[in-house]
Structure 1
Amino acid sequence: MQPYLFLAIAIVCEVIATSALKASAGFTQLWPSVVVVVGYGVAFYFLSLTLRTFPVGLAYAIWSGAGIVLVSAAGWVLYGQKLDLWGFVGLGFIIAGVLIVNLLSQSASH
């Protein structure tokens, strides 16, 4: 269960850092820039801990898929970046793909 916790922390930190990237205005705003650097540092650290037990492909599929969906949600909430029907369809496919790889694929055994 601990690798899943590490992966969840990595995902949350990556989403926070990516969301702050817009607010950093090209690293011209101090505090959002600090959030970006610290967030990515913590995210990669916890991703590296996850990779001690998870196959890299599985960990990255979950991390990137969840990150895309959560950053899209954060963009909607924080910046008013709305999704249209096809945006939701695409995000649904990403979620489905992560679930298939994680739950059904033999190549993702862990």
Structure 2
Amino acid sequence: MQRRHWLAALGISLIAAPLAAEPDSRQQEMVDLAWKRGCFNCHDLDTTLRGPAWRDVGERYQDDPEALERLIPIVRNGGGGNWGDEFMTANRRVPEEDIRQLVEWILTLRSTESSVQN
């Protein structure tokens, strides 16, 4: 009987392991894409650099169903005034699909502190 429990536990762990690893692999995929596209020149996940920390962005817009469609053109064309005096540089050479994927992912992030600037 104990062998069945052990086999059942093993089976569950083999199924659950890839599911548990998925969010980390998705984050790594998006971090790699952000590095490739030069996003980390101005941004960081947790620290405000020239631009806001992405976790702060995700937290600020978490309840805004229109945020994705509003932020994509800002990332593409540049913009300013939403996070202080800094102006976001246009990213016209970055494919639209890459921008969409990155913004979708950023909008899922949450700040580790209550450091969102309003």
Same fold (TM over 0.5): no
Scaled by the length of structure 2, the TM-score of the pair is 0.32
Scaled by the length of structure 1, the TM-score of the pair is 0.33
Bigger helix fraction: 1
The structure that has the greater radius of gyration is 2
